[in-house]
Amino acid sequence: MKAETIIVRGGGGFDPVTGAVSVPVYQSATFRHPALGESTGYDYSRALNPTRSALEKSLALAEHGKYALAFSSGMGAISSLIKLFKPGDHIIVSADLYGGTYRLFNEYYSKYGFSFSWADTSDFGQIEQNYCPQTKAIFIETPSNPMMKVSDIRRCADFIHAKGGFLVVDNTFLTPWFQNPLDLGADFVIHSGTKYLAGHHDTLSGFIVHSNDDAEVRLRDAQMSEGATLAPFDAWLTLRGMKTLALRMEKASRNAAEIAGWLRKHPAVEKVFWIGFPDHPQYELSCSQSRGHGGMISFYMKDASRVPSVLKKVSLVLFAESLGGTDSLITYPVVQTHSAIPEAMRIAAGVNDRLLRLSVGIEDAGDLIADLEQALSS
C-alpha cells in the first residue's frame, strides 16, 4: 500500500462486529475476564486499550517500524525512552532542540546519573568530539526546533552503530509524510503527536516508533509501569487527525514556501530560517533524506523592540505555544518553548530575543501574508 492509504486506513478499517467505519472509542478502564486465566487480550487500559492499539498500529505502519507505543504526550514518550538506558550512560543531544526535552534531560535525568552533551549535531565533527566510551545514544531533532538545522541521519546512525549505541530521531517537524528516519538507519523515532499527527491543536499525544524486539519488551514494561499512556479519546482524536496528515502537510508546506519567500524580502526581517531555501546550509542533505520541507519557519526581526507589537497585532496568526495544527501559530521561543534553556546556551544556539517561530497552517497563504504584513509593518 502507498503512504496515503496507510495513513488513512492503517488503523484497521472497520469494526468487525458493528461495521463502524470509525474505530470506536473504547472508553473503558478495565475489561471483563471470561474466566480465571482467560482474557480477551485486554485487561486494563494502562497496559493495553483497543483504540490506542489501532493508533499504534497505524503509526508503526506510517513510520515503517515494527512497533509504536502511544503516550499521553511527547515528553511522556521521551521520558519512557530514557528507561532503555542506565545511570552512567551518556547521550549526545542536539543543542538546538525543544526546550522541554532540554529541561527533562538536564534538570531531571542528570540527577539520576545520566549525562548529556549538547552539540550542534548538524556539524558531524561535534558528534565525534563529544563521543566518549560511556556514550550509548545520539538524540537528534532534524530539522531542529527552532533554528531549522538539519542533521545527517544516515551518518549519525552509522557512527553510533559502529560504537554499539542507538540513534534516536525526533521526527515531529517533518512527520512520516516527509521523512522516515528508521529507513535511514535510526533506531527510535520520537513524535510529539500533539503537533502534525493529531494536527488540530485539540489534544496531546506522543510516540516511540521502532523495530527492536528486545527494546519493545522493555519499553512496554516502562510504559505500563509509569502509566503515561494515551487515553482512549485522545488516541481516537490523534487517529482521526492522522487520516488527513498527507493533505495537511502538503498544504502547510506550500503555504510555508510562499510565506518564507515573502518574509525574506520584508524590511523588518533580518534573516529567515526555512529548510526549503536552496541556500540553506544543509539544503542538499535535507533533500536527500526528506521528501518535503514542512510548515515550520523561524525568523529574526531586525529590531527586538518590535516583537511585542508584532505579537499583539497578529490576529489570523495566533500567538500561542505549539505547532503543527490546521491553524497558524506564532511563538516567541525565548519566553515560551525555549525558556528552560540557560541564556548563554540559548543565545549560542541562535535563540535570541529577535527570534520568532511560525507554524504555518492550512489557511489561505494570501490571508496569512496580509495578517503578517499588517503586524510587521505598523
Ligand X SMILES: Cc1ncc(COP(=O)(O)O)c(C=O)c1O
> Do 334 and 355 meet the contact criterion of CB atoms below 8 Å apart?
yes
Q: How far apart are CA 172 and CA 204, in angstroms?
A: 13
* 135 lines the binding site for ligand X (CB under 6 A): no
CB of 190 to ligand X, least distance (A): 7
CB of 335 to ligand X, least distance (A): 14
Q: How far apart are CA 43 and CA 240, in angstroms?
A: 25
151 or 192: CB nearest ligand X = 192
**The residue type at 63:** E
**Contacts with ligand X, 86-125, as mask; x by CB under 6 A:** ------------x-xx------------------------
Residue nearest to ligand X (CB): 74
Q: Give the one residue of 51, 145, 175, 328 binding ligand X; rule: CB under 6 A.
A: 145
How many residues at the interface with ligand X, by CB under 6 A? 15
* 49 lines the binding site for ligand X (CB under 6 A): no
Range list of H helices, the chain: 3-9, 50-62, 74-81, 99-103, 124-130, 153-162, 175-178, 213-226, 232-242, 245-264, 283-289, 307-313, 343-348, 365-377
| Burial (0-12, 13-18, 19+ Cβ within 10 Å), 341 | buried
* 152 lines the binding site for ligand X (CB under 6 A): no
Q: Which of residues 278-337 bind ligand X (CB under 6 A)?
A: 337
* Cell 515573502 found at: 262
Q: How far apart are CA 248 and CA 156, in angstroms?
A: 30
Q: Give the one residue of 68, 81, 137, 204 binding ligand X; rule: CB under 6 A.
A: 204
Range list of H helices, 29-120: 50-62, 74-81, 99-103
74 or 292: CB nearest ligand X = 74
**The residue type at 14:** F
141 or 369: CB nearest ligand X = 141
CB of 222 to ligand X, least distance (A): 17
- Piece of 67-75, 234-242, 245-253, 280-288 that binds ligand X (CB under 6 A): 67-75
Q: What is the CA radius of gyration of the chain?
A: 21
Sign of CA dihedral 256, 208, 168, 86: positive
Q: How far apart are CA 45 and CA 366, in angstroms?
A: 46
Which among 303, 335, 304, 305 has a CA at the least distance from the CA of 319?
335
CB of 338 to ligand X, least distance (A): 10
Q: Give the one residue of 73, 79, 130, 359 binding ligand X; rule: CB under 6 A.
A: 73
- Piece of 8-16, 69-77, 106-114, 280-288 that binds ligand X (CB under 6 A): 69-77
* 176 lines the binding site for ligand X (CB under 6 A): no
Cell numbers given for 21: 467505519
* Cell 506510517 found at: 62
* 141 lines the binding site for ligand X (CB under 6 A): yes
* 187 lines the binding site for ligand X (CB under 6 A): no
Q: Which of residues 219-278 bind ligand X (CB under 6 A)?
A: none
Q: Give the one residue of 206, 325, 333, 350 binding ligand X; rule: CB under 6 A.
A: 206
CB of 76 to ligand X, least distance (A): 7
Catalytic residues, which ones? 46, 98, 170, 195
Q: Can you give the binding site for ligand X, defined by CB under 6 A?
A: 73-75, 98, 100-101, 141, 145, 170, 172, 192, 194, 204, 206, 337
